[in-house]
Amino acid sequence: MNVIDGDAAGGILDDITVVDLTTFVTGGFATLMLANQGAEVIKVERPGAGDDNRHSGPPFVEPDPDYDGPGRTADENGESPYFWTINYDKLSVEFNLKTESGLEALYDLVAEADVVVENFRPGTAERLGIGYDDLQEVNDDLVYCSISAFGETGPWSSRPGYDLLVQGTSGIMSVTGPEDGDPVKVGLPQTDLITAMWAAFGIVGALFRRERTGEGDRLELGMHDAALPWLTKQAGKAFVGEEPTRMGTKDPVLAPYQTYPTADGYLNVGCANQKLWGELCEAIDRPELAEDDRFATNPDRVEHMDELEAELSAVFRERPTDEWVDLLAEDHGLPVAPVYDVPTALDNEQTEARGTIREIEHPALGTVPVIEHPINYENATAGFDGAPPLLGEDTEAILGELGYDEEDIDRLRDDGAIPDA
């Protein structure tokens, strides 16, 4: 199935069709990664409401009042930019899976697909008749991915969960924030995104295996499990009986490797090995620091991190951030960088030079910005071609691709399986 003729010819996942039954971020970002690599991703959404992420805001953006094409805005306030960032280059259909004909339409769609992704609470998909066993009956080489907060086994398996909860259970919050402060949530939906990347990785692996064996597979992962491997150095300390703690921007095993205040902002400094440490001391005109017994080696600097912070903070406060970057990064080639706010991160000379932020035509909004994903191939293409879909924008087109005629589509409307036009 290929409803949209895009520019992604040569994408790694060309000719792969993904049925996305997920809501919010975890599944959405996983299928976004697949769309970026050329897969056709079809969101199956609740009639009238759609993905919960469509209602995440404010802010909202009002569509063109003169737009009269297919699909519509799900929220009375307009379109959510947060929704855009997780749903570029996807298609949207509205199926009421609690009706028999809506469920049959989904089965027809899955029969032509390669991948299904769902993030219901364990047991929900089976109750709806869209579990792995149900869908494998219509597509025996299907790759089916189930995502939940805590996985399908264990004493927490029936609990609901969101990123905030899993940032807590995974230990991430315990090592995030100021040393003398409370546990702090990472400012991004980090465990959602971590889990999404694991899911996309697993799906591509299962598709590769299918190419070799002809067999589909079922993947099952929990957000809590997915976050734990990212603890790395903190887990390493715990494995030998030490308790990792909050350290602000400091690092538990490297120094200097943290944020320092400048005359007008902040500077990140990562000059932890001996060569870089010596070069930093020379560049800031403090060569005696390299000879100080407290700072002689990296273990010494870690042991005396507070004293080191005091010395370097006094130096870096003497100049603005840009001057330090010019001197240390540009002139001396040292690993230092400014701390940007989000608008500056999205709009600076490096981001612009890499073409990371683009604009995509949107039928009801004119254009919308898009953050491209970072993989650049020598012998394949990647990137987004289509705007995030309006709710139900592609329902009729996809049903037509499945062989439904106008009479069939009217029947689905009469049954309440799809909304009225």
In angstroms and rounded to an integer, the radius of gyration of the C-alpha atoms of the chain is 25
In a domain, residue 348? The reply is: no
Phi-psi region of 120 (alpha: psi -120 to 50; beta: other; left: phi over 0): beta
121 exposure class (CB count in 10 Å sphere: 0-12, 13-18, 19+) = middle
Pairing mode, strands 257-261 and 40-45:
unpaired
**pLDDT tens, position by position, 34-43:** 999 999 999 9
The catalytic residues are 192
In a domain, residue 246? The reply is: no
Residue 374 sits in the same domain as residue 273: no
Please, what is the angle between helix 406-414 and helix 100-111, to 10°?
Answer: 140
Rounded to 5°, the CA angle 6-11-13 comes to: 105
Question: Any idea what the CATH number is for the domain that residue 100 is in?
Answer: 3.40.50.10540
φ, ψ for residue 165, nearest 5 deg: -65, -40
Return the pLDDT at 10. 86
Return the pLDDT at 1. 56
In a domain, residue 163? The reply is: yes
Residue 160 sits in the same domain as residue 109: yes
Domain tally, the chain: 2
State the 10-residue block means of pLDDT for the chain, 421 residues long. Answer: 50 97 97 98 96 93 92 93 97 97 98 98 96 98 98 96 97 96 97 98 98 98 98 95 95 95 98 97 98 97 97 98 98 98 97 96 94 93 95 97 97 96 74
Range of the domain at 99: 17-229+354-414
Closest CA to 217 of 126, 116, 72: 116
Give the whole-angstrom CA distance, residue 95 versus residue 105.
Answer: 8
| Domain limit, last residue, from 282, 303, 338 | 338
**Residue 264's beta-bridge partner residues?**
none
In a domain, residue 243? The reply is: no
Residue 192 sits in the same domain as residue 85: yes
Question: Any idea what the CATH number is for the domain that residue 282 is in?
Answer: 3.30.1540.10
Q: Which residues contact 206 (CB under 8 A, 6 or more apart)?
A: 143, 145, 216, 217, 219
Give the whole-angstrom CA distance, residue 256 versus residue 265.
Answer: 18
